[in-house]
Each structure stands twice: as structure tokens, then as C-alpha cells.
């Protein structure tokens, strides 16, 4: 009974020693690993100030030059306007100060069709960078358009916009306000959004502001061609540039809002010191047991001496 109690106590002491060694290992080495891999600091830090940077660049220094049509000519409507320009910039063509068409400069040149006003037309072009900064105004080309064949139908149709280029994320709706004047309603619109789909048909009862909209499935730069015809068959034409940003197409899901989470790193246990600590349990138990047996033997010898009859 005494030996069983003693051995049980020895097992308990050995297990306790092992647990203490293991806990000490986790505390010491786990703390070192945590110190080497601290938790990410929240951004912005408490009490700090956030700054937002904006990309800046100088506006274009080189403008466009109109080479076609030549000045002083009499033309029909629409007319093709061509010229040279800095590659990669947006070219907006103006007629009597009104924006009548836009196109991207590719390969150092541009070309597009624009509608003319009855009488004198002063054509010019202005380039714009990605930030919407304007470059120098091009040369001014003056041409004449005699619209005598439309006198019986009233005034000509004019289709313009304040925006030569509009952008929206791919998958989002892109809206575009247009300004329609002249002619006789109702009006029929044919809109080619430039993404390979069928032209969109739209009707408008009266002249004024006309809002058109479209959703691009793929990112890219698209040429938008708009034709409007009134009830008398009089037409106007407008070419614009649409930009769909992002990387969304018809087979991909819409980008989801990023959820930031704080990852707490668990302390890494160093297994080599742990194995050494466990290995020490065996000699610790053996030495403890040997020491306990020696103590029991000495105690039994003293008790035996005490019970011997004295001579």
C-alpha cells in the first residue's frame, strides 16, 4: 500500500515536471515567434491621419492638326475630318465652338465624320489626356454647307454632347446625355455601341436632352456611332468614345467588396526543445523512483531496529 501510493505520487510529480517544461517551452519560444511575426497594425493607426494621393501630370503640349477638309471649300454633310495628333490622346472636333464628335488618336492620326450646320462652319480640334486635361487648339478650317434642299422641311437636325468621352466600370451602366435640336419629331435613334452587338433603336418624341445608356461586359475603349432621323427623313450623326474600365466580362462575376480581416498568428511550438523535455521525463522518473525506494528502505530499517528487543 505504501509503495503504490509512493509510485503514484512519483508519476504525478513526473507528469507535473513534463507539463511545466512544455508550458515553459511554449511561453519562451512561442513568445519569440510572436515577436518575430507581430500582428498587423490596423491602417490607419489610431490617432493618425490618412492622406489620399492624386496622380498629376502636365497637360498635353502638342495639339492636333486638321488636314482634311481644306479651308474655304463647300461641302456636304456629314463631312470627314482627318488630321495628325499625338498617339493615345482623345481628339474632340468642334464646329462653331460646339463639340460634334470625338475619336481616339491611333498611329499619330485621326479621322471621323461630323455633321455640319447650314452656312459657315469653323472646324477645330482639341486633344485631351486621360485626366481630361486639354492640349492646344488646332488650326481652324472654315467650310461652307448650303442646305437649300432641306428648306422645305425647316431647320436641320443638330446632335451634340458636352462629353466626347464617358467611362464606367465594365458591368455597370454607362449613361450619356445628348442634346438634340432642330428637325421635326418624332425622332428615331440608331446607336451602335461598338461592342459587336446589334444597334440599339430608340425613339424620341421631342427635341431636347436625350439620355442614352449601355452596359459593357468587357473592359476596353469603344467607338460609339449615333444616327438620328426625324419624321421628314432629315438625319444627323455623332461619333463618341466610351471607356469600360476593369476586367469584368460575361463569364466572370462582378468584383465583390474586399473584406479586410485581421489574422492572429498562433505561436509556433519549437519541437526540438519539447522532445528534449519529454525525453528527460524518463530519467527524471527513474531517479525519483530510485530515490523514493532508498528512502523507503531506510525507513523500514529504522522501524525494524526500533522493534528489535534491546539486550
Cell (9 digits) for 31: 513568445
Q: Check whether the bond before 269 is cis (ω within 30° of 0).
A: no
Sole residue written with cell 480640334: 125
Query: Could you give the number of structural domains in the chain?
Result: 2
pTM of model > 0.75: no
Residue where a domain terminates, one of 228, 245, 262:
245
Same domain for 97 and 34 = no
pLDDT (0 to 100) of residue 252: 41
CA dist., res. 212 & res. 116, Å (int): 22
Same domain for 224 and 181 = yes
pLDDT band, residue 255 (cuts 50/70/90) = very low
CA dist., res. 117 & res. 144, Å (int): 9
Same domain for 206 and 286 = no
Same domain for 10 and 140 = no
Query: Over the stretch 293-302, which tens digit does the pLDDT of each residue have?
Result: 766 777 777 7
Same domain for 225 and 160 = yes
Name the residue range of residue 298's domain. 2-38+278-307
Query: Over the stretch 54-75, which tens digit does the pLDDT of each residue have?
Result: 567 899 999 999 999 988 888 8
SS3 readout for 37-78? CCCCCCCCCCCCCCCCCCCCCCCCCCCCEEEECCCCCECCCC
Q: Within its chain, how far is the Cα of 283 from the centroid?
A: 63
What are the residues facing 280 on neighbouring strands? none
Please tell me which residue, 284 or 245, carries the higher pLDDT value.
245
pLDDT (0 to 100) of residue 256: 45
Q: What percent of the chain has pLDDT over 90?
A: 49
Domain-located, residue 16 = yes
Q: Read off the CATH number of the domain in which 233 is found.
A: 2.60.40.10
Query: Over the stretch 193-214, which tens digit does the pLDDT of each residue have?
Result: 999 999 999 999 999 999 999 9
pLDDT (0 to 100) of residue 73: 82
Amino acid at each position: 500500500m505504501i509503495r503504490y501510493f509512493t509510485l503514484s505520487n512519483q508519476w504525478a510529480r513526473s507528469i507535473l515536471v513534463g507539463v511545466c517544461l512544455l508550458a515553459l517551452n511554449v511561453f519562451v519560444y512561442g513568445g519569440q515567434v510572436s515577436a518575430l511575426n507581430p500582428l498587423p497594425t490596423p491602417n490607419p493607426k489610431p490617432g493618425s491621419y490618412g492622406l489620399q494621393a492624386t496622380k498629376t501630370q502636365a497637360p498635353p503640349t502638342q495639339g492636333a492638326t486638321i488636314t482634311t477638309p481644306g479651308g474655304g471649300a463647300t461641302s456636304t454633310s456629314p463631312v470627314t475630318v482627318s488630321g495628325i495628333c499625338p498617339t493615345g490622346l482623345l481628339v474632340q472636333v468642334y464646329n462653331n465652338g460646339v463639340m460634334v464628335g470625338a475619336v481616339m488618336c491611333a498611329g499619330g492620326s485621326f479621322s471621323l465624320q461630323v455633321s455640319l450646320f447650314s452656312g459657315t462652319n469653323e472646324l477645330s480640334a482639341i486633344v485631351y489626356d486621360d485626366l481630361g486635361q486639354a492640349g492646344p487648339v488646332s488650326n481652324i478650317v472654315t467650310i461652307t454647307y448650303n442646305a437649300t434642299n432641306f428648306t422645305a422641311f425647316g431647320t436641320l437636325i443638330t446632335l451634340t454632347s458636352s462629353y466626347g468621352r464617358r467611362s464606367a466600370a465594365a458591368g455597370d451602366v454607362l449613361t450619356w446625355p445628348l442634346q438634340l435640336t432642330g428637325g421635326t419629331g418624332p425622332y428615331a435613334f440608331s446607336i451602335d455601341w461598338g461592342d459587336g452587338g446589334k444597334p440599339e433603336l430608340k425613339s424620341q418624341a421631342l427635341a431636347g436632352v436625350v439620355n442614352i445608356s449601355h452596359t459593357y461586359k468587357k473592359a476596353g475603349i469603344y467607338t460609339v456611332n449615333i444616327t438620328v432621323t426625324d419624321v421628314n427623313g432629315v438625319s444627323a450623326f455623332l461619333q463618341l468614345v466610351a471607356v469600360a474600365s476593369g476586367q469584368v466580362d460575361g463569364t466572370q462575376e462582378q468584383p465583390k467588396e474586399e473584406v479586410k480581416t485581421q489574422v492572429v498568428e498562433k505561436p509556433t511550438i519549437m519541437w526540438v526543445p519539447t522532445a528534449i523535455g519529454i525525453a528527460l521525463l524518463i530519467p527524471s522518473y527513474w531517479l525519483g523512483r530510485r530515490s523514493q525506494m532508498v528512502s523507503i528502505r531506510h525507513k523500514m530499517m529504522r522501524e525494524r531496529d526500533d522493534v528489535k528487543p534491546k539486550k
